[in-house]
């Protein structure tokens, strides 16, 4: 499931245009918004982000044995919350080819789904891989390798959409 909010009252859910609540404008740098602007807004879901270092060895889609505790806790949380559906997205850094990173991200997402299913979750899972196409940090800074940024980009995200009212 892919959810996009363009901030202007429009968005898309799995490519289908939808009307959503517009996002407030971003304040100027160094200017604090009025307290009313900090009021909670309705959420379309929650994203849980797990570093690849927690789950996988470098360039591997095999879940590490020491990740069992994290997956056990996550499965218990999802079961307790009776989460009906969720999406696991795999992401990589920019080392390697686009094709290799795409396959690795897909395999990692599916490995997490399989591990959570084995732990008894009743969630309707979707696994997606995005390779290196959705970085959260720069892989390079001014043409120089950025290991910290690459580490942030190697991740698995679990989107739990908001259900009901």
Q: What is the CATH number of the domain that holds 55?
A: 3.30.1330.60
Domain contains 29: no
Structural domain including 64 reads 45-161
Domain contains 67: yes
Domain contains 5: no
- How many residues does this entry show for the chain? 165
CA–CA dist 139, 46 (Å, integer):
25
Contact between 86 and 161 under an 8 Å Cβ cutoff? The reply is yes
CA–CA dist 161, 14 (Å, integer):
13
Domain contains 26: no
Domain contains 18: no
Domain contains 149: yes
Q: What pLDDT does residue 165 have?
A: 47
- Total number of domains constituting the chain: 1
- Rounded to whole angstroms, the maximal C-alpha distance in the chain is 49
Q: What is the pLDDT along the chain (165 residues), one digit of tens a residue?
A: 677 777 788 888 878 888 877 777 766 676 666 667 667 777 788 899 998 888 999 899 999 999 999 999 999 999 998 899 999 999 999 999 999 999 999 999 999 999 999 999 999 999 999 999 999 999 999 999 999 999 999 999 999 998 754
φ and ψ at 10, to 5 degrees? -120, 160
Domain contains 4: no
CA–CA dist 125, 127 (Å, integer):
7
Domain contains 126: yes
pTM: 0.73
Q: In what order do the strands lie in the sheet with 85-91?
A: 45-51, 155-161, 85-91, 124-129
């Amino acid at each position: 499931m892919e959810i996009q909010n363009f901030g202007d009252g429009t968005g898309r859910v799995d490519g289908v245009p939808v009307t959503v609540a517009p996002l407030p404008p971003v304040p100027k740098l160094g200017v604090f918004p009025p307290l009313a602007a900090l009021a909670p807004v309705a959420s379309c879901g929650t994203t849980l982000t797990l570093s690849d270092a927690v789950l996988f060895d470098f360039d591997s889609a095999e879940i590490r044995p020491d990740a069992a505790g994290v997956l056990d806790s996550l499965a218990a949380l999802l079961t307790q919350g009776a989460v009906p559906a969720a999406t696991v997205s795999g992401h990589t850094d920019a080392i390697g080819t686009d094709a290799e990173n795409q396959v690795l991200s897909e395999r990692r997402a599916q490995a997490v789904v399989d591990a959570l299913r084995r732990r008894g979750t009743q969630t309707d899972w979707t696994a997606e891989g995005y390779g290196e196409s959705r970085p959260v940090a720069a892989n390079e800074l001014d043409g120089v390798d950025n290991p910290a940024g690459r580490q942030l980009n190697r991740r698995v995200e679990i989107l739990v959409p908001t259900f009901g009212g």
